[in-house]
Structure 1
């Protein structure tokens, strides 16, 4: 009939008719907060979120109060006391008035086939209290992260499936518990341990036949026996504190010389000797990330090095040619320049002018393919000269990446447009070179 309005078609809720395991898979793609919100859709959805195998709770961002967080988590873990589907649990808390409930929560999941467990205490004034004994013998855990918790002393540790173990700022009753955690993880591959400076455990012995990556900080002395080791990351304070025993040499080393190295007299002989010994020990690496503000002429020959990331203070940037000369096979170079650029501004106030355009560096000519300036270029003469040198002399250079920032525009020597124009006008030795300005 003319003029009669058609009734709108009802939208069929096909998702609600899916089996529980498929809806659970859909909810897995949501955050825990959004998955819980679906319980308000209908009676059908009321408890479906509890079938999601991933639970990620933050006491501050997900709840209006800490008591609400405790109440919600308590009900959830009580629901899963007899049978739990949780495969991954991440708990982040910013305050703990009562630590007694936490061990029981962890105990529920470690007895119910959990694979990924992340416990994080943000507040530095509270910790979680004792970790339950069941954690030390969980035979399904693959990934364990514990931040600012209290470990208890146990006679036996068995974590047969743990491949990733990250421990940061925890409390340990003694150094032996750390050795038990490592030896009790027979397939461990990735190990991070950051010691709290006030912690009593000062010596760490890492003995593992499967370990591939180690990140260790703040220990007074470290012994590493890991024949498959590929990557080492550490910060050194004053002394050479790492000893390798029967270890395969790591392919990548990320080393940060702590503030003691950077604050003391850079000409001090003892300091230079320690740095020289360390650099000699790692001279066979293929990839090196190094943070050292006082460079001196103490470079060994990095015969195998292909990737280098280095931080340079302005006053020691003149050491860069010597460093590059010690890397005959270098292919990738990432430079971080310190924010104080007095040395490379030019001749103002009789400051030395940075330049080495007449220096021939073998790797620049024959092997260097990628150069990146990680810190923003501000337009100082020395910076531009350095960029110009690589573009002009790198015959097989494929890509150069330069960061230009508008930060502190008033302190610039040149405006962004002038810097960009000068960069694009620079001659390039490699016809295949791509100049990327970020």
Structure 2
């Protein structure tokens, strides 16, 4: 009797048997680049990627020549000339002729676009004009424009826009910006980043729905937004934010940078600006603050807390080596603090045993009310590298935080690779530290 070998069972391609609209829905979860790659699977898939109502392209990383980028996008728009386009995200690099951008934006705004991002990346200002149809697109939800030219219009109507991000664009005047904001009646997230070369006037931001706003130091705004939850800004030498309504954001993310006052060696004017701003936001519940000169707030002649954050429960702060000893004054200003995240600057502390002229990080005898009564979570965001002060900092919180639930510290990758014995010693020292809270977990990453 002759035995016959069974033929291997072929794997059934069930996906290819799905209707076009379902395959299109699957391909929308992929990038444009990956969706196009499916065209080589079989003749069935050759043109299916064109059904996807999304175009996400980078003219430099995904095409050898700029002409190929323009040609590819052109074919996509030709295919969708009678259908909707849900999302268009383009990144292009300083082309001489930007008329194609104007025509493409006009095309998608007339085809019920929901998500539009145009980024012109350039070493110099490189603007492309925005078509008039954009200002009255009634389907847009997310709009992001980078280095484009806004034109004067009499009316702006963007009834569905919730996210509006405008970065380094050219504006004929402040009125067009205010029209974009007032013409977006459901706006929730606003970002305006401008250049120092612009002679920008004060911008009035009035919105009954706005929840988040991000502006840089070159945007001066007066905010009237009763539902505002999060304010993010960069400040150097001037105060650029005024909040006029009775409400206040729950979260403030503020970066004071490293600028010094020109012609003011004592930093008097800068110190006043910083204190004024921190006084204005004293009701905040979550604060993210990047400030490398804490002496501007807590000068040596006034060791006590000069600020009072009565409602603050979550704090993320950056300290440099010379100002870390002022941390107790900041913590004393936060009587209800529950979560503390510390970022320590790169050249922050000194190797154990070395001499220095900076104040020592020794406040183990200082009683800080929030550490004893409310602090539950502490994280050292910057990796431990074996410098003086780091271990003392960890030891203080473990020993004095009576209701602490978690202390998180991170080891430096370099330290782990190059100083194995030192890493082991530090790790053992951390585990041996006494803890005031029996429920405290020490997480070492």
Structure 2 length-normalised TM: 0.92
Q: How does 1:273-288 map to 2 (within 5 A)?
A: 273-288=272-287
Asked if structure 1 preserves the Cα contact closer than 8 Å seen for 2:127 and 2:170, the reply is: no
Cα deviation code 1:103-158 (max 9, x no counterpart): 11111111111111111112233635101111110000001011111111111110
Q: Which residue of 1 aligns with 2:24?
A: 24
1:62 equivalenced with 2:100 (yes/no): no
| Distance (Å, rounded) in 2 between the aligned partners of 1:327 and 1:165 | 34
| Distance (Å, rounded) in 1 between the aligned partners of 2:43 and 2:210 | 49
Q: Which residue of 1 aligns with 2:179?
A: 180
Task: Give the RMSD, CA atoms, in angstroms.
Answer: 2.3
Cα deviation code 1:324-354 (max 9, x no counterpart): 1111100000111122235685662565432
Q: How does 1:341-380 map to 2 (within 5 A)?
A: 341-342=348-349, 345=352, 348-349=355-356, 352-380=359-387
1:319 equivalenced with 2:326 (yes/no): yes
Q: Which residue of 1 aligns with 2:143?
A: 144
Q: 1:99/1:428 Cα in 2 relative to 1: closer, same or farther (>3 Å)?
A: same
1:34 equivalenced with 2:41 (yes/no): no
Q: 1:191/1:125 Cα in 2 relative to 1: closer, same or farther (>3 Å)?
A: same
Query: How many angstroms does 1:381 deviate by?
Result: 2.8
Report the secondary structure of 2:222's partner residue.
strand
Q: Which residue of 1 aligns with 2:80?
A: 80
| Distance (Å, rounded) in 2 between the aligned partners of 1:270 and 1:305 | 26
Q: Which residue of 1 aligns with 2:315?
A: 308
Cα deviation code 1:39-73 (max 9, x no counterpart): 23333323221221322111122222211111100
Gaps of 5+ in 1: none
1:196 equivalenced with 2:195 (yes/no): yes
Structure 2 counterpart of 1:406, from 402, 413, 417: 413
Using the TM superposition, name which of 380-389 and 195-204 deviates more: 195-204
Gaps of 5+ in 2: 299-304
Report the secondary structure of 1:277's partner residue.
helix
| Distance (Å, rounded) in 2 between the aligned partners of 1:84 and 1:291 | 48
Using the TM superposition, name which of 321-330 and 220-229 deviates more: 220-229
Q: How does 1:73-112 map to 2 (within 5 A)?
A: 73-81=73-81, 83-112=82-111
Structure 1 length-normalised TM: 0.94
Q: Which residue of 1 aligns with 2:429?
A: 422
| Distance (Å, rounded) in 1 between the aligned partners of 2:308 and 2:252 | 15
Asked if structure 1 preserves the Cα contact closer than 8 Å seen for 2:380 and 2:409, the reply is: yes
Q: Which residue of 2 aligns with 1:292?
A: 291
Query: How many angstroms does 1:437 deviate by?
Result: 1.1
Query: How many angstroms does 1:8 deviate by?
Result: 3.5
| Distance (Å, rounded) in 1 between the aligned partners of 2:66 and 2:130 | 21
| Distance (Å, rounded) in 1 between the aligned partners of 2:311 and 2:76 | 54
